[in-house]
Chain A
Amino acid sequence: MSEEHHIVPWKNYAINFCVITVLMFLTVWVADQDYGVMNLPIALIIAIMKTLCIVLFFMNVKYSSHLTWVFAGAGFFWFLIMIGFIIVDFTEFGGMYTNSLPGSQSAIGVP
């Protein structure tokens, strides 16, 4: 796409930078508040928003082909498969074996 390759105006980059910086201060501020179990999800949501800003605008995925979207998404999706299954195995959803209880010893030696 060299001819029609999208040249993004520098102002977009500057605005994007400001948004990410604001989000960063937001996550620092939020960390001082106590939302109980929601602390982690809130921090992660802000991190994902920052990531989207970087991926879409700094890395120009917004103007890229569908193929780029697919493979950029595949990386994140496969990571979720891995962490999803593994975390579930270590939570109480797993049940039965000793490693199902938070803070318990490792599962070595179970039947």
Chain B
Amino acid sequence: MAVIADREGAYAPPVREENYLTWDHSIKSWLFTQDHKRIAILYLISITVFFLLGGIFAMLFRIELLTPAGDVFEADRYNKFFTLHGVIMIFFFLIPSVPATLGNFLVPIMVGARDLAFPKINLASWWVFNVAGVFALLVLVTGGVDTGWTFYSPLSTSYANTSVFLAVTAAFAAGFSSILTGINFIVTVHKMRAPGLTWFRLPLFIWANYATGVVIMLGTPVVAITLFLIAVERLWGVGIFDPALGGDSVLFQHMFWFYSHPAVYIMILPGFGVISEIIPCFSRNRIFGYPFIAFSTLSIAILGFFVWGHHMFVSGQSFYTGMVFSFLTMFIAAPTAVKIMNWTFTLHGGNVIMTTPMLYAIGFIGLFTIGGVTGLFLAAMGLDVPLHDTYFVVAHFHFTMVGGMAMAFFAGIHFWWPKMIGKMYPEFMGKFACIIIFTGFNLTFMPQFIVGWLGMPRRYHAYPEEWQVLNVMSTAGASILGFGFLACIACLIWSAFWGKPAKQNPWGAKGLEWEVCTSPPHPHNFTSIPVVTEEAYSYTGEEVLDID
């Protein structure tokens, strides 16, 4: 790729061979860094802590569900466990997962810029996130919260006597940090692309993060104000949403889901972006139907705002509104299916190389398809009535969020690990952990589809005896899944210290981050701003792996 001369004196040129990890070792240079790459690493550490914390709560309530009777934990404690699992996993892991780590790291590099448009705001985003995290930890030490992650009123406003106020504050602040990231991405993609980098030469990861930014910007403030109203109602003792005091709890659900349905696209769209990078790379094939994937990303982001009522078919939403929402929800399956088809066609005729990221990506396609198709069951208004609030719903969104998003997240982390850290992870261990995760995942959630279909409601700590076999399978699977995640994280952390140094382009991949940046990148990404002369994914099939 050609390069142009740099603007003179724009920054001090490096004195010696250094990268963004090594140029300054002080703690201060990390905590107050404005370098998007370091902020990505900081975020990675923060969300890993919350991921493990959320996982611990999942294990605790899975243990309770081993036996039909509510014998290990009393109902209150069980309620707190699943609530904390939900709040932490959604607001502190899934929403920031890919955008705040891989997105922060890669968006400026992929568009050929030196940093995001607002580096200070990017740093502020991480600090706000940690303040939110402190509130979340305060929830833990003050006795937890038991409303479910949805904070439905009047349970959250009038009946719960737990730390609802702290929990909504934590979610509010976490949302605010994601808004800052989202705005940064949109401005960067619009205004900071390198010369020659037209919209249709952008990697699809950029399209995905751009669309995510739009959803974050337009959706998150609504949940912020809704949670604020919940906090006001609790503190002030007035009825905004509590029907007993003249409010309307259906209004709460409307405002909550106006954000929280699009929020699932905040979680999954960046995952789509990751998969769109990995599949062509390890198929050694141009991506099939680039513009279709790009526009399906945007249309998911926009359509996603028209379907929130499918969460309210049985909560007092009017009948005709429900029909409209049911109809619109069916629509959104189309652009998602377009993506799945295009990835599959990219594999077709390609020279497929089964590395760890590719294993995760293939797993993603299978699991996400199951998650998406079962979503259509729930979008059908009639079928949702018996299935609503059963384990079928739980299994559905875990297939999309864990089978989809967590798989995509780990795919991306493995794929860009050599670039971010400059070390290779041990390939065998990576694949081993991936297979364990895949097995454990299916064993956990497949039985939940069945037990949900049989009618087991979610959020109860006891159940009839005939469902015990399926629940034991699920708990066993959860243990395997937890072990897989630990193995994966341990393997990555080990390799960060003792792994083999990575070459500049170990995968033979296309893209500015591989072809121009060193591993790990220079503190200012590029010694001079690149000029892009070709499309993304111009694989010829000749690329070779460059690993010792």
| Chain A contacts to B: CB under 8 angstroms | 67, 74-75, 78, 81-82, 85-86, 88-90, 93-97, 99-100, 105-108, 110
Contacts and interface: CB of A to CB of B under 8 A. Distances in A.
A100 B316 CA distance: 10
Contact of A108 (B249, B305, B317, B319): B249
B316 A107 contact: yes
B302 to A, nearest CB: 9
Given A99-B250, A106-B249, A82 B222 contact: yes
Interface of B: 190, 214, 218, 222, 243, 247-251, 254-255, 258, 305-306, 308-309, 315-321
A94 B320 contact: yes
B254 A89 contact: yes
B493 to A, nearest CB: 41
Nearest to A92: B318
Contacts of B258: 82, 86
A106 B247 contact: yes
Contacts of A81: 305-306
B218 A74 contact: yes
Nearest to A77: B218
A99 B316 contact: yes
Q: Which 6 A-B pairs have the closest CB atoms?
A: A94-B318, A107-B316, A106-B243, A96-B319, A89-B321, A78-B218
B507 to A, nearest CB: 35
A81 B251 CA distance: 15
B316 A88 contact: no
B259 to A, nearest CB: 10
A29 B318 CA distance: 38
Nearest to B328: A85
B221 to A, nearest CB: 10
Contact of B318 (A67, A78, A82, A96): A96
Contacts of A94: 317-321
Give the one of A78, A82, A89, A93 with max B CB within 10 A.
Answer: A89
A75 B218 contact: yes
Nearest to A108: B243
A90 B218 CA distance: 23
B275 to A, nearest CB: 27
Nearest to B248: A106
A110 B318 CA distance: 10
B305 A89 contact: no
A12 to B, nearest CB: 27
Contacts of A100: 318
Give the one of B254, B258, B308, B316 with max A CB within 10 A.
Answer: B316
A97 B222 contact: no
Given A74-B218, A106-B249, A96 B320 contact: yes
A97 B249 contact: no
A105 B319 CA distance: 17
B316 A97 contact: yes
Contacts of B319: 94-97
Contacts of B251: 86, 90
A83 B498 CA distance: 55
A32 B255 CA distance: 34
A67 to B, nearest CB: 6
B322 to A, nearest CB: 9
Nearest to A78: B218
Nearest to A110: B316
A53 to B, nearest CB: 25
Given A94-B319, A94-B320, 8 more contacts: A75-B218, A89-B250, A90-B251, A96-B319, A100-B318, A106-B250, A108-B243, A108-B249
Contacts of A75: 218
A99 B243 CA distance: 12
10 contacts: A81-B306, A82-B255, A85-B321, A89-B250, A93-B320, A94-B320, A97-B318, A106-B243, A107-B248, A107-B250
A67 B316 contact: no
B224 to A, nearest CB: 13
Contact of B320 (A82, A95, A99, A106): A95
A108 to B, nearest CB: 5
B169 to A, nearest CB: 23
Given A86-B254, A106-B248, A107-B250, A95 B306 contact: no
B229 to A, nearest CB: 14
Contacts of A67: 190
